Amino acid sequence: VSDIPGDFDHVLYTEEQVASRIREVASQIDADYAGREILMVGVLNGAVMTMADLCRAMTSHMSMDWMAVSSYGAGTKSSGVVRILKDLTKDIDGRDILIVEDIIDTGLTLSYLVQNLRSRNPNSIEIMAMFRKPEAVTCPLDVKYVGFDIPNEFVVGYGLDYADRYRNLTDVATLAPHVYQS
Ligand code: PRP
Ligand code: MN
Ligand code: MG
């Protein structure tokens, strides 16, 4: 952890561990989609880093589009309300969609998103999430690609934020208690 070091408690995954896992998942995706061109749909803002690294680790043709769907406000808990802040720019009829997310916590965001995208008649929809929290097991989501299953701690870095900060941290770390209290 090199940025604002005093704000962090402990590192869960280093930049190197994240990069190495991304490479593994990318080869799996390349193999699974051989001969098909994926439309990767990134969920803003959290998925920016995962998308950037995952697509560059792939060797197959792909294109990307973005949605902004927010279920969290400034706090650390899901509000339970999913809002579309920005929709896709193109039609996905007949396309093979891979939704790219940074994290699945309650699974609420992705449940909503999958249901929403399914109604637009794509050929297929799969999910890649870099991190997944334990609570996600209560959600009937079919997640094909997971980077890491993590404990139920509030983590930041690699796109994950606290009050919109810390997304640019290259490691994934927990915050020190004084950050929440200030
Ligand atoms: C976070 C995260 C996921 C979602 C996961 O996004 O990036 O998109 O919450 O939570 P869930 O599984 O409980 O729905 P957030 O709404 O904070 O927006 P952000 O990506 O801009 O940070
Ligand atoms: Mn998000
Ligand atoms: Mg967030």
pLDDT tens per residue, range 66-79:
999 877 555 656 66
User: What is the C-alpha to C-alpha distance for residues 74 and 178, in angstroms, rounded to an integer?
Assistant: 16
Asked if pLDDT for residue 38 goes beyond 60, the answer is yes
pLDDT for residue 1: 43
Ligand 1 pocket mutation, candidates 101, 104, 105, 109, criterion most atoms within 8 A of CB? 109
User: What is the C-alpha to C-alpha distance for residues 78 and 109, in angstroms, rounded to an integer?
Assistant: 9
Evaluate: CB of 116 within 6 angstroms of ligand 1. Answer: no
pLDDT for residue 59: 97
Please tell me the pTM assigned to this model: 0.93
User: Choosing from 96, 105, 149, 161, which is the catalytic residue?
Assistant: 105
Q: Order of strands, edge to edge, in the sheet holding 62-72?
A: 78-86, 62-72, 38-44, 96-104, 124-132, 145-149
Atom of ligand 1 nearest to the CA of 167: 22
pLDDT average, residue stretch 5-29: 96
User: What is the C-alpha to C-alpha distance for residues 124 and 131, in angstroms, rounded to an integer?
Assistant: 22
105 is catalytic: yes
Q: What phi, psi does 114 have (nearest 5°)?
A: -60, -45
**Six token digits for residue 131:** 């991190």
pLDDT for residue 180: 84
pLDDT for residue 181: 82
Provide the b/e sequence for 52-87 (b: ≥16 CB within 10 Å). ebbbebbebebeeebbebbbbeeeeebeeebeeeee
pLDDT for residue 84: 93
pLDDT average, residue stretch 127-136: 94
User: Which of the 8 DSSP states describes residue 171?
Assistant: S
Task: Look at ligand 1, atom 20, and give the residue with the nearest C-alpha.
Answer: 46
